[in-house]
Amino acid sequence: MQLFIDSANVDEIREIAAWGVLAGVTTNPSLAAKEGRDFTVMLAEICDLVAGDVSAEVVATDTAGMLAEAEPLLAVSDKVTIKLPLTPDGLAACRTLSDRGVRTNVTLCFSATQAILAAAAGATYVSPFVGRVDDTANDGIALLEEICAIYATRGYGTKVLAASLRHPQHVAQAALAGADVATLPAKVFHQMVRHPLTDRGLEQFLADWAGYRGGA
C-alpha cells in the first residue's frame, strides 16, 4: 500500500518526504485555503518534493467549469492529478479527462455504488472517506473493505485511495482491507513512527554502547 500525505503545507510535506516513505500528496480546497498562499505556486513547490502523483482539486461545480479549472493546474507539473467531486458533473469531467489520459482522483466517496460509478468514469483513484463515515455512526473500514472487494472481483483499474484516516489503526485497517493507497495527515505519520518500546530500546542500546566504549 502506497502512502500519501494529506496536506498543502510545504514544510510538513518536506519533512515526511525526507523519511523516504512518501509516494504522493493529496490536497483539497480546505487545506489549501488554510495556507493563505497562491495555490499554483504552492502546488509547484509540492510537486518538486515528491516523485509521485499530487492531487489538486477543482472548486467549480459544473463540468465545463471543472475542465476549465483543470487546465492551469495541469500546466504546473506532469505530476498533477485532477481531483473531482463524486457528482454527476464530476463524473462527466472525469470521463473527459480520463479519455485524454489525464490522471483523476474522484473524491468525497461515501458508498460502494458511488465507487462503482467512479470506476466506470475511468477514475485513476477513488477516495472513500473512512473517518467521515465513522462520524455518521457507520463503519468506514467496512465500506473500504466492500469497495476493495468489488474492485478486485470486477477487475477495475481504478485505485482505492483510503482518505480521512484519523489515527494509525485506520492505516493498518486500510492496508488489511486492500486499499492501494492511504493518505494521511502529518500528525498520523508521527503517531505511526513513535512507540515507547522503540524509544526505550534505543536509549538502552546507546547507554550500553557508551559504557562499552568507556571501558575500552
Q: What is the pLDDT of residue 126?
A: 98
Buried b / exposed e over 120-135, threshold 16 CB at 10 Å, is ebbbbbbbbbbeebbe
What confidence tens digit (pLDDT) does each residue in 110-120 have? 999 999 999 99
Confidence of residue 191 (pLDDT cuts 50, 70, 90): very high
Look at residues 207, 202, 210, 134 and name the one whose alpha carbon lies nearest to residue 173. 134
> pLDDT value at position 27?
97
Query: Containing H/E element for 104?
Result: strand 104-109
Surface-to-core class of residue 150, CB atoms within 10 Å of its CB (0-12 exposed, 13-18 middle, 19+ buried): middle
Residues pairing with 4 in the sheet: 24, 183
Q: What is the pLDDT of residues 155-177, one digit of tens each?
A: 999 999 999 999 999 999 999 99
Query: How confident is the model over 26-43, as pLDDT tens digits?
Result: 999 999 999 999 999 999
Cα-based distances in Å from 173 to 118, 143, 166, 178, 207: 23, 12, 12, 9, 36
The string of pLDDT tens digits covering residues 122-148 is 999 999 999 999 999 999 999 999 999
CATH number at residue 44: 3.20.20.70
The pLDDT tens digits for 6-22 are 999 999 999 999 999 99
More confident residue, 214 or 172: 172
Torsion angle defined by CA atoms of residues 165, 170, 172 and 175, in that order, rounded to the nearest 10 degrees: -60
Asked whether residue 216 carries a pLDDT value surpassing 80, the answer given is no
- Apex 160 CA angle, 157 and 161, nearest 5: 135
Q: Is 83 a catalytic residue?
A: yes
Q: Global pTM? A: 0.94
Query: Locate cell 467549469: which residue?
Result: 65
Does position 215 have pLDDT exceeding 60, yes or no?
no
Number of separate domains in the chain:
1
Q: Which of 53-62, 117-126, 173-182, 206-215 has the lowest mean pLDDT?
A: 206-215
Q: What is the mean pLDDT of residues 45-50?
A: 98
| Those residues with Cβ within 8 angstroms of residue 95's Cβ, 6 or more apart along the chain or in another chain | 121, 122
- The answer on pLDDT for 214 being more than 70 is no
What is the predicted pLDDT for the residue at 210? Answer: 86
Is-contact 16 52, C-beta < 8 A? no
Q: Are 106 and 126 contacting, i.e. CB atoms less than 8 angstroms apart?
A: yes
Q: Which of 34, 79, 83, 187 is catalytic?
A: 83
The whole domain housing 88 covers: 2-215
